[in-house]
């Protein structure tokens, strides 16, 4: 079969905004290289088809099990128990996936690019002569700490304490590990079976073990040693695909959404270059009242100008410290609801990013060369924070060893170190260096091009 024929690649992400968005990003880049891409998801989670490449096709898959919510972004504190039921509904897509792969004959699907959650997708694809690549939206260090597939399917590490040190398969010194309060939070949900019948770790393990290759959202400039480790412990091809950073939408597309932000951008235009810290914690982190108040205290004590994207269900007045907005008027802005994050991060006045260390947010910050103030909250974020501090692109806010709590003084001191103090220049310089990698269209596109060339030369026969 000629290797220069247009590829047909199907992509299947998990139903979380933090997974759907980067899958769209990579799918779009592949389509722009001239290959047909079928984006598979449930109808409510398909992206808008406005301004997508013509070779990117949206394919609805309808689950046979009703889940009451359609994505993790709809989960709240009171409905978090529905997360395993959402996984069970997602698992019922195996039949619709098989139907699509068997019927897509013009041209046939060459590769299925899937997330970690559909562990059942690989055997479905293999039975229909479709090759499979697992696309990890987690960095290589996180995958390396999780370990070989067997350690995920039948783990030897059976207590939270086991995750507070680097495992024996990591051959180099590293500070990347959970702290005990973090490990306690992650261990149960990750390794215990839920209502779907399997654990998150099991999904990871089976997907990695069964796929033909592993693609990692990372680059050698940031995680070379971890990418090499994955090749050893997986025993198969591991390819970095870059970070596919998001780009700010065109003015004509988002003019209506941005009209309410004119004042904010005018305010930024008056600030000194690199003086403002942007604060945001993503779509799935739910700060508690005490955390919000300590962040507010830290911002106030720091004396730095800031923009804070804060979600709180009953309005900001209920949770912010009394008088906080009055005391910081003119110096800071607290915004609720939708925020044009990429545009804010890209403004020349913004010099730092206080983040929960989700891999999407890390990419968005580093593409603009912003120094990071690290406040990991859930999932893989603690491991990301250790890696980023080890690589000198950010500094983590100090936490209590017993319960993982942080306070306003620690936030203030870390903010000032990273943003303005002489001792933080190394973080600022290293972050600026990463801009030339993660913020470079040429560098990032080269990773995608190499990945697609590999898919072309290893298509099914």
Q: What is the pLDDT of residue 258?
A: 62
332 phi and psi, to 5 degrees?
-145, 160
**DSSP letter at 236?**
S
- Look up residue 366 and give its two tokens: 């580093």
Give the model's pLDDT for residue 253: 44
pLDDT band at residue 396 using 50, 70 and 90 as cut-offs? very high
Give the mean model confidence (pLDDT) for residues 213-234.
Answer: 97
Q: What is the pLDDT of residue 249?
A: 55
Cross-strand bridge partners of residue 240: 216
pTM here is 0.92
- Mean pLDDT score across all residues of the chain: 90
% of the chain surpassing 90 pLDDT: 72
| Choice between 249 and 172, residue whose per-residue pLDDT is larger | 172
Q: Residue 247 — very low, low, confident or very high, per pLDDT cuts 50/70/90? A: low
Asked if pLDDT for residue 1 goes beyond 50, the answer is no
Q: Which tokens go with 96?
A: 């619709």
Residue 49 has pLDDT above 70, yes or no: no
What confidence tens digit (pLDDT) does each residue in 296-337 have?
999 999 999 999 999 888 878 888 999 999 999 999 999 887
Q: Which of 87, 63, 64, 65 is nearest to 75 (CA)?
A: 87
Q: What is the 3-state secondary structure (H, E, C) of 129-178?
A: CCEEEEEECCCHHHHHHHCCHHHHHCCCCCCHHHHCCCCCCCCCCCCCCC
Please tell me the distance from the alpha carbon of residue 444 to that of residue 331, in angstroms, as a whole number: 36
Q: Is residue 190 pLDDT above 90, yes or no?
A: no
Q: Where are the alpha helices (DSSP H) in 57-139?
A: 83-91, 94-103, 121-127
Q: What is the pLDDT of residues 419-438, one digit of tens each?
A: 999 999 999 999 999 999 99
pLDDT in tens, 100-128: 999 976 789 999 999 999 999 999 999 99
Res 48: pLDDT: 79
CB atoms within 10 A of CB 90: 24
β-bridge mates for residue 189, sequence order: none
Q: Taking the alpha carbons of 448, 23, 113, 223 in that order, is the dihedral positive or negative?
A: positive
- 166-182 mean pLDDT: 95
Query: What is the CA 138 to chain-centroid distance, rounded?
Result: 7
Q: What is the DSSP letter of 249?
A: P
Give residue 7's pLDDT.
95
Mean pLDDT computed over 447-453:
97
Residue-level pLDDT at 195: 84
Q: What percent of the chain has pLDDT over 70?
A: 92
Question: Distance between CA 330 and CA 386 in Å, rounded?
Answer: 34
Q: Which pLDDT value is given to residue 252?
A: 45
pLDDT the model gives residue 34: 94
> Which domains does the chain carry?
8-244+441-457 (3.40.50.2000), 251-438 (3.40.50.2000)
Q: What pLDDT band is residue 256 in, cutting at 50, 70 and 90?
A: very low
Q: pLDDT at position 128, please?
A: 95
């Amino acid at each position: 079969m000629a290797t220069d024929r247009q590829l047909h690649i199907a992509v299947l992400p998990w139903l979380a905004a933090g997974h759907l968005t980067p899958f769209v990003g990579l799918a779009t880049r592949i389509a722009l290289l001239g290959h047909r891409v079928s984006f598979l998801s449930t109808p409510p989670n398909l992206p808008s088809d406005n301004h997508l490449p013509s070779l990117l096709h949206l394919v609805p898959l309808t689950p046979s099990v009703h889940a009451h919510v359609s994505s993790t972004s709809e989960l709240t504190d009171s409905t978090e128990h529905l997360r395993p039921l959402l996984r069970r509904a997602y698992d019922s897509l195996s039949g619709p996936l098989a139907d699509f792969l068997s019927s897509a004959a013009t041209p046939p699907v060459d590769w299925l690019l899937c997330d970690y959650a559909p562990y059942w997708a690989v055997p479905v694809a293999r039975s229909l002569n479709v090759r499979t690549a697992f696309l990890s939206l987690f960095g290589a260090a996180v995958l390396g700490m999780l370990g070989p597939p067997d350690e995920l399917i039948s783990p030897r590490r059976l207590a939270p304490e086991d995750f507070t040190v680097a495992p024996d398969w990591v051959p180099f010194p590293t500070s990347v590990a959970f702290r005990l309060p973090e490990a306690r939070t992650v261990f149960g949900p990750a390794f215990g079976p839920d209502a779907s019948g399997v654990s998150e770790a099991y999904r990871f393990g089976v997907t990695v073990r069964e796929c033909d290759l592993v693609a990692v959202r990372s680059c050698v400039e940031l995680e070379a040693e971890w990418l090499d480790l994955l090749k050893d412990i997986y025993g198969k091809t591991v390819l970095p695909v870059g970070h596919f950073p998001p780009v700010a939408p065109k003015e004509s597309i988002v003019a209506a959404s941005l009209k309410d932000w004119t004042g904010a951008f005018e305010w930024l235009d008056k600030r000194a270059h690199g003086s403002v810290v942007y604060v945001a914690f993503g779509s799935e982190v739910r700060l508690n009242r005490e955390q919000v108040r300590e962040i507010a205290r830290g911002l106030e004590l720091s004396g730095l100008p800031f923009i804070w994207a804060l979600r709180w269900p009953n309005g900001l007045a209920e949770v912010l410290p009394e008088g906080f907005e009055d005391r910081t008027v003119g110096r800071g802005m607290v915004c609720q609801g939708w925020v044009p994050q990429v545009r804010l991060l890209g403004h020349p006045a913004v010099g730092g990013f206080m983040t929960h260390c989700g891999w999407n947010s890390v990419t968005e910050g580093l593409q603009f060369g912003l120094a990071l103030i690290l406040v990991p909250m859930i999932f893989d974020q603690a491991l990301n924070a250790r890696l980023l501090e080890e690589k000198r692109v950010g500094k983590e806010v100090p936490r209590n060893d017993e319960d993982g709590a942080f306070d306003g003084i620690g936030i203030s001191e870390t903010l000032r170190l990273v943003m303005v103090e002489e001792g933080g220049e190394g973080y600022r310089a290293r972050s600026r260096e990463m801009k030339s990698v993660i913020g470079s269209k040429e560098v990032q596109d080269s990773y995608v091009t190499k990945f697609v060339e590999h898919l072309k030369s290893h298509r099914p026969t």
